[in-house]
Structure 1
Amino acid sequence: MSSLTLIAVDLNKFNGSLPPNMFHTLPNLETLFIGGNQISGRIPASITNASGLRAFDVTVNKFIGQVPSLGKLKDLHLLGLSQNNLGSNSSNDLEFLKSLENCRKISAEIGNLVNLYLFTVEDNRFEGTIPDTFAKFQKLQVLELSGNRLSGNIPAFIGNLEVFSLFSLTKLLDLSGNSLSGSLPQEVGKLEYTEMLNFSENHLSGDIPGTIGECVSLEYLYLQGNSFHGVIPASLASLKGLQQLDLSRNRLSGSIPKGIQNISFLQYFNVSFNMLEGEVPTEGVFRNATEVAVTGNNNLCGGISKLNLPPCPLKGKKHEKHHDFKLIAAIVSVVSFLLILIIILTIYCMRKKNKTPSFESPTIGLMVKISYEDLYNGTDGFSTRNLIGSGNFGSVYLGSLESEDKVVAIKVLKLQKKGAHKSFIAECNALKNIRHRNLVKILTSCSSTDFKGQEFKALVFEYMKNGNLESWLHPSKEIAGPQNTLNLAQRLSIIIDVASAFHYLHHECEQPVIHCDLKPSNVLLDDSMVAH
């Protein structure tokens, strides 16, 4: 056993744990591949005894705890730790990276050359900031830190990594699904050979740097689920090999650069739920509605007909005579004044007629009516990309309405379910006369037929951006979006909000309302972390 140099038992069903003294009996081991099993426990600290180890891959297992120091593994080329349960929810989880700067070979011909070219630790529970140790790994070609709980800024040195000296593997930088903040460094433009950049589902802000257009080998760019603002850089049109571009769920404004329609390889373009305006191009990727998503930008216009956007206004010519404007303005002013006067008199007469004041809140029947077509267009045809929740009696979609200049949540009833009609009527009756800051506000409803002539019923609510309490209390790697930890003050505030809502329902409503299904997944949080 002591002379063994390679162990490859990956993609099996082995379970149990590795013996603590395992590497004491394998001093000559160079390659260990045990990924794709069900091995649990900790990575033995005796790994430092296998000083000649070049490749260490334990991906897709059930390892837990902190990673031991790897500083004595001076020949290490490949390190794969992804899709485990490593980490201890502390800021020291990535301390083992500092030891990796000693993993090098000293050669008279080459000098001080760092050998590590692949590093993957995605889908674990690592916390803390990205250490500057990565600046030492100047052959690093694949860096995957996604699906952890990393915070802080993205260090600018990442752009200085010589990640392209090996061309045998797909080159990517994936920091998605963490809690990184700050801006995207301008140095990102130095990654001119990288094929995929994924910074999605973080808390990044600021402008998208124009230097990203210098990443000329880029094929996949994912920046969705952040707080980027400003305009979409026109330099993105320089990425001639780009195949997928996702900028959705940010705060981008301005227009869509027309140059993007000239990217011949682009197959997917998503800018949904931003604040974009102006005309949507009609060439290139914009010819196919299934490859483009622009929902949630209420000021966009034009584009192909299948996008269901309003036509762009024509640029009208100025009237030849200035006095025509004055005449029209005078007529409009007089008519407006008369209309306002009539409205005031009507309201006064109605109030005088009704001696008993009414304290009843606006009912659903008085709200703006909305058609099935409006809901269909506002959700991209009830696309699964916009599905944010599902229950016994209905599914909830993210969408936008022409009558509401904001993102909304649309609950579509599953009428084929027994009791769905009764649920719809009961929910309408319960919601029509209640109003409280900690109850989700209903905006309108729809009772109509769909394009197939089948009965259709839906309720439209305010959208709660921060999701439900369940995803904050028990975050999971399967849940998309940033996963933060609630502090004590936030937890107390949520408890008070929920108690306030239930006190109102039980004691202050004209007719008490019993909820019957209080659980964390039914408590929604808005932008300010106020519970509803």
Structure 2
Amino acid sequence: MDLHSNRLQLEIPHQLGSLKNLQVLRLGYNTLIGSIPSKIGNLVNLKLLDVGGNNLTGEIPSEIGKLSDLEWLNLKLNQFVGSIPSTFGNLSALTHLNIFSNRLTGGFPPMQGLLSLSFLELGENNLTGIVPSWLGNLSSLKIIDLQKNSLVGHIPESLGNLKLLTVLSLSFNKLVGCIPNPLGNLHTLIEVDIDNNELEGSVAPSIFNISSLEIFNVQSNHLNGSFPHDLGSELPKLELFLVDDNRFHGEIPPALCNTSVIQWIQMSQNFLSGMIPHCFGIQQKNLLVLNLAQNQLEGTNNSDWSFLSSLTNCSHLKLLDLSRNKLHGELPDLIGNFSRNLFHLNVEMNRITGKIPESIGNLIGLNGLGMDSNLFERNIPSSIGNLKKLNILALSDNNLLGSIPVILGNLTVLSRLGLDGNALSGAIPSTLSSCPLEILYLSHNRLTGPIPKELFLISTLSNSLLLDHNLLTGPIPSEVGNLRNIEELDFSSNNISGEIPLSIGNCQSLQYLSISGNFLQGVIPLSVGLLNGLLELDLSHNNLSGRIPGFLGNIRALTNLNLSFNNFEGEVPKDGIFLNTSAISIVGNNGLCGSIPQLKLPLCSSHPTNMNSRKKAMLISSVAGILFLTSVVVLFAILHWRSKPRQEETHESQLSGQHLRVSYAELVNATNDFSSENLVGVGSFGSVYKGRMMNHDQQLVVAVKVFNLQRRGAFKSFDAECDTLRYVRHRNLLKVLTVCSSTDFRGYDFKALIYEFLPNGNLHEWLHLYPERKGQRKVLDLVQRISIAIDVASAIDYLHHHNPFPIIHCDLKPTNVLIDNNMVAQVGDFGLARFLHEDSSDILEQSTSWAAMRGTIGYTAPEYGQGNNASIQGDVYSFGILLLEMFTRKRPTDSEFTGGSNLHKYVEMALPDQAISAIDQHLLSVTDDSEPRTQDNQNITEKRIACIISVLQIGILCSNDLPADRPQIGDALKELLVTKDKLICGR
């Protein structure tokens, strides 16, 4: 009876059991329901039973075991549950057993007697237990498919006895141990799929001599060792070679180029080293995929890129992934000669220099182009606008210059655009609105001008719009409300003004909103209360005013709220997130009051009951106050007029080591009128410019820090920096040359500090932007990073313990760590520093908003968010976070650290077993000149990892949440010195 593929919608009738002479029953690929009737066991002459591809349920009836003549049993693609009936061991004539893709559980029943079995297909169930060794006795087996189960234990060596075996599929189980060497004796093997297990050890070379092999898939295991040098010489039929996500090391054997019919080579996520064979692609005309990502493959000059020339012969190539290796040099123009079928090109996280080739525009079939985290420079080539099929363009973390090409608006299927972490300038082109973007990253550049309202007309923006850390001006356009599906908006650290637009309440999917570090005014609009899914809100460092609205406490999803350094006043709400003081930051708002003890705010005054008495008292107080203030102002003006020249002279005498006197006019001339070309950086209270000045017939290159006196707190920052620098002298502290406290050409106050210019930039640039030195992009090696960490710790230790009073820096972060010509670190920016007097209960010190300013989000100790006083333990916390960032190259404010996650927890969870996943991969590959040389590269790698783990553990201790759990900075310094000594001297 053959009713195969007739779309029958019924149950298998019980009457079938009366057809005693039936030999073939084919009911496969219908829509049968119900279960197999137990009377199926009456069909004693049945040789073929096929009910695969239906909706049958229930358990497989044990009565099938009575069908002694059954040769073919197909039950695949149903919903059978329970275990395989033990009676199946009686089916001595069975040649095909297929129960693929059901819901079977339990282990294997005894089936040693099935000596005629050729096909065993039990994949995609939930079978447990071990792979039975008696399978090796079923000498007729040709196919074993046990993939996607929950099998444990070892692969039996007895499988090496199956001389007819062509397919071995054990993928997606929990198998351990080694790949048995006897498998190399199976000269009829065509397909080996044992990927996604927990296998370890090396692969027997004999397996690579099986000339019939077409598919070799061992990806996602723990296999190690190197490949034999003749790999590929004996594999004329090999089509798929998948060994990625293991621990293989050594070089890629050039003999692999002999596999002329190969289509797929995937060797990513290993420890392969050496050069990429130049012969790739010469014979492999059918190659579709070449994935060598996340290894330690090298390329130091143009000749090492010659393999690209060979690959241009592969007219069918779809994917080329060379990301996360150690490739140097420039990307050759011949990249544009690749097949127009190339779908994905990824070279991110290498050390590729020079410009992005203009010929990249020839690859019109590209869907994804990944060039993140390299050393590319110059402009973005306009030819990228030719890539009309491009869906992903990732150029983040390079040193690209110039403007964003307007022609990118031609990319009408582009959904992800990453240009963050470059040096791009100019305006954001409104033409980007023509792209159906879901993600747009433009942060950490030098973009200027207003935010184009057209960006907010991109209806597809649903993931992230990041514009932070630029020089954008003007208000946030009201069109922002069109982004109804956006999850993350970041406008922080710009020069944005105006008010928070009312339309922000239309962004109903918004989870993360940051507008910190701008010049926003006004109140928090009621519409913010409509953002019910909001998880994090950061409005800090603005000029917002009014009361903190109570509706913020009604946003139940909110887990992090930062309103610090604004002009809020009145009572702090007592509901919702405000009950969790560790989740909010409200410091730097003078007018706040409240009764929550942990916030340490003054109590709000009660309202007098007699209003007439209150008015009378206010009138008397006002008159008396006006008379008193008038007297004080007149007296102060006289004293200030008489003392002002003396104060300026005092500042100069205290700070001018070379007695260099400068005026405002001289600084204007030195910096070319404070031109944008000389702008080095922008901070919380001002900007830093590079300048050239003459002193005793000698030209000095200086850094001029000009304070933005319109910014609240700038005067205090200037005074604090002057007071601190008057007392300190240390090789690891930035040295000030002089000070300028004067007026500008319009008669407004002008204050600036003048430092020696350090051309090596700051630590942030070295960690995230890879500055150019002597024509090459540089990455800090391991010894350099430890040395810089020691320099910073030495500076903080000096501030804390080697002055008349301990000095607290309060804003330790990578941008405040400068690097001199000898790669020695110098800590700068003491604009938030303060002295820790023995009488730490000074009421004035604690009550001012200035005393509440304590650093930068991500680096600030958690106790500061609860209003606690500044302390040396707070600096230790910041140092710990800085250490973790130095050795993971992850910022504490990265978008992956949201909710309850942070950099401290991320590293703590990775140590020690998963440390390699958290470590900056450059540290495992960059050559350290200070390290001793041995022949054992593995020993060097292990030594580096152990050293980095030691440093990360110091960072974890220093960044503990509780101040009492953190070590003294001097103790951390000693541990770092010991770690460096072990690394260099081997002790």
Normalising by structure 1, we get a TM-score of 0.59
The answer to whether the 8 Å contact 1:94/1:126 transfers is no
The answer to whether the 8 Å contact 2:806/2:835 transfers is no
Q: Secondary structure of the residue that 1:151 maps to in structure 2? A: strand
* 2:468 alignment partner, one of 157, 167, 176: 176
Q: For residues 470-514 of structure 1, what are the alpha-carbon distances to aligned partners after superposition, in whole Å with 9 as ceiling and x for unaligned?
A: xxxxxx999999xxxxxxxxxxxxxxxxxxxxxxxxxxxxxxxxx
Partner of 2:457: 160
Deviation, 1:240, is: 0.9
Partner of 2:69: none
Aligned equivalents of 1:443 and 1:251: distance in 2? Answer: 22
The answer to whether the 8 Å contact 2:595/2:604 transfers is no
Indicate how the Cα distance of structure 1 residues 449 and 187 shifts in structure 2: closer, same or farther if over 3 A, else same: same
Partner of 2:328: 40
Partner of 2:377: 87
> Which gives a bigger RCO, structure 1 or 2 (Cα 8 Å, sep 6+)?
1
Matched, 1:28 2:316: yes
The answer to whether the 8 Å contact 2:493/2:518 transfers is yes
Deviation, 1:340, is: 10
The answer to whether the 8 Å contact 1:78/1:119 transfers is no
The answer to whether the 8 Å contact 2:365/2:389 transfers is no
State how many pairs are aligned: 385
Q: For residues 144-174 of structure 1, what are the alpha-carbon distances to aligned partners after superposition, in whole Å with 9 as ceiling and x for unaligned?
A: 222233333322222222426xxxxx82222
Matched, 1:120 2:403: no
Aligned equivalents of 2:486 and 2:520: distance in 1? Answer: 22
Aligned equivalents of 1:407 and 1:28: distance in 2? Answer: 65
Rg (Cα) greater in structure: 2
Partner of 1:203: 495
Instruction: Map residues 255-404 of structure 1 onto 2, 5 A cutoff.
Output: 255-302=547-594, 304-320=596-612
Aligned equivalents of 1:228 and 1:120: distance in 2? Answer: 27
Indicate how the Cα distance of structure 1 residues 337 and 137 shifts in structure 2: closer, same or farther if over 3 A, else same: closer
Indicate how the Cα distance of structure 1 residues 9 and 282 shifts in structure 2: closer, same or farther if over 3 A, else same: farther
Aligned equivalents of 2:430 and 2:621: distance in 1? Answer: 69
Partner of 1:433: none
Aligned equivalents of 2:334 and 2:796: distance in 1? Answer: 60
Partner of 1:448: 838
Deviation, 1:285, is: 1.1
Q: For residues 284-308 of structure 1, what are the alpha-carbon distances to aligned partners after superposition, in whole Å with 9 as ceiling and x for unaligned?
A: 1111111101111111222622112
Aligned equivalents of 1:443 and 1:419: distance in 2? Answer: 10
Matching residue's letter, 2:588: G
Q: Secondary structure of the residue that 1:424 maps to in structure 2? A: coil
Q: Secondary structure of the residue that 1:46 maps to in structure 2? A: helix
Matching residue's letter, 2:295: N
Matched, 1:14 2:303: no
Matched, 1:55 2:344: yes
Q: For residues 333-392 of structure 1, what are the alpha-carbon distances to aligned partners after superposition, in whole Å with 9 as ceiling and x for unaligned?
A: 689979999x99x99xxx9xxxxx9x98799xxxxxxxxxxxxxxxxxxxxxx9xxxxxx
Q: Secondary structure of the residue that 1:211 maps to in structure 2? A: helix
Deviation, 1:329, is: 5.2
Deviation, 1:3, is: 3.0
Q: For residues 48-72 of structure 1, what are the alpha-carbon distances to aligned partners after superposition, in whole Å with 9 as ceiling and x for unaligned?
A: 3332232233332223333334444
The answer to whether the 8 Å contact 1:196/1:219 transfers is yes
Aligned equivalents of 1:336 and 1:173: distance in 2? Answer: 51
Matching residue's letter, 1:247: L
Partner of 2:231: none
Aligned equivalents of 1:339 and 1:206: distance in 2? Answer: 33
The answer to whether the 8 Å contact 1:231/1:254 transfers is yes
Partner of 2:803: 423
Indicate how the Cα distance of structure 1 residues 443 and 133 shifts in structure 2: closer, same or farther if over 3 A, else same: closer
Partner of 1:526: none
Matching residue's letter, 1:35: S
Q: Secondary structure of the residue that 1:134 maps to in structure 2? A: helix
Indicate how the Cα distance of structure 1 residues 279 and 82 shifts in structure 2: closer, same or farther if over 3 A, else same: farther
Q: Higher strand proportion, which one?
A: 1
Indicate how the Cα distance of structure 1 residues 37 and 440 shifts in structure 2: closer, same or farther if over 3 A, else same: closer
Deviation, 1:406, is: 7.9
* 2:442 alignment partner, one of 137, 145, 153: 145
Aligned equivalents of 1:222 and 1:338: distance in 2? Answer: 44
The answer to whether the 8 Å contact 1:80/1:121 transfers is no
Q: For residues 387-408 of structure 1, what are the alpha-carbon distances to aligned partners after superposition, in whole Å with 9 as ceiling and x for unaligned?
A: xxxxxxxxxxxxxxxxx99865
Deviation, 1:232, is: 1.9
Partner of 1:64: 353
The answer to whether the 8 Å contact 1:21/1:44 transfers is no
Indicate how the Cα distance of structure 1 residues 144 and 28 shifts in structure 2: closer, same or farther if over 3 A, else same: farther
Q: For residues 200-231 of structure 1, what are the alpha-carbon distances to aligned partners after superposition, in whole Å with 9 as ceiling and x for unaligned?
A: 22222222222222111111112222222222
* 1:236 alignment partner, one of 511, 520, 528: 528
The answer to whether the 8 Å contact 1:65/1:87 transfers is yes
Report the aligned-residue RMSD: 4.8
The answer to whether the 8 Å contact 1:258/1:281 transfers is yes
Indicate how the Cα distance of structure 1 residues 212 and 317 shifts in structure 2: closer, same or farther if over 3 A, else same: same
Aligned equivalents of 1:257 and 1:340: distance in 2? Answer: 37
Partner of 1:436: none
Q: Secondary structure of the residue that 1:231 maps to in structure 2? A: coil
Deviation, 1:95, is: 3.5
Aligned equivalents of 2:589 and 2:370: distance in 1? Answer: 41
Partner of 1:76: 366
The answer to whether the 8 Å contact 1:443/1:462 transfers is no
Q: Secondary structure of the residue that 2:433 maps to in structure 1? A: helix
Aligned equivalents of 2:620 and 2:420: distance in 1? Answer: 67
Aligned equivalents of 1:6 and 1:225: distance in 2? Answer: 46
Aligned equivalents of 1:254 and 1:132: distance in 2? Answer: 35
The answer to whether the 8 Å contact 2:390/2:411 transfers is no
Indicate how the Cα distance of structure 1 residues 293 and 331 shifts in structure 2: closer, same or farther if over 3 A, else same: closer
Indicate how the Cα distance of structure 1 residues 148 and 287 shifts in structure 2: closer, same or farther if over 3 A, else same: same
Identity of aligned residues (%): 31
Q: For residues 9-44 of structure 1, what are the alpha-carbon distances to aligned partners after superposition, in whole Å with 9 as ceiling and x for unaligned?
A: 222222326447466334433223333223233333
Matching residue's letter, 1:66: K
The answer to whether the 8 Å contact 1:62/1:84 transfers is yes
Aligned equivalents of 1:331 and 1:136: distance in 2? Answer: 63
Aligned equivalents of 1:27 and 1:4: distance in 2? Answer: 8
Deviation, 1:262, is: 0.8
Deviation, 1:464, is: 13
The answer to whether the 8 Å contact 2:593/2:602 transfers is yes
* 1:5 alignment partner, one of 288, 303, 310: 288
Normalising by structure 2, we get a TM-score of 0.34
The answer to whether the 8 Å contact 2:388/2:413 transfers is no
The answer to whether the 8 Å contact 2:560/2:583 transfers is yes
Partner of 2:159: none
Q: Secondary structure of the residue that 1:277 maps to in structure 2? A: strand
Indicate how the Cα distance of structure 1 residues 136 and 3 shifts in structure 2: closer, same or farther if over 3 A, else same: farther
Deviation, 1:415, is: 12
Deviation, 1:422, is: 5.6
Aligned equivalents of 2:852 and 2:603: distance in 1? Answer: 27
The answer to whether the 8 Å contact 1:101/1:133 transfers is no
Q: Secondary structure of the residue that 1:206 maps to in structure 2? A: coil
Deviation, 1:462, is: 13
Aligned equivalents of 1:163 and 1:21: distance in 2? Answer: 39
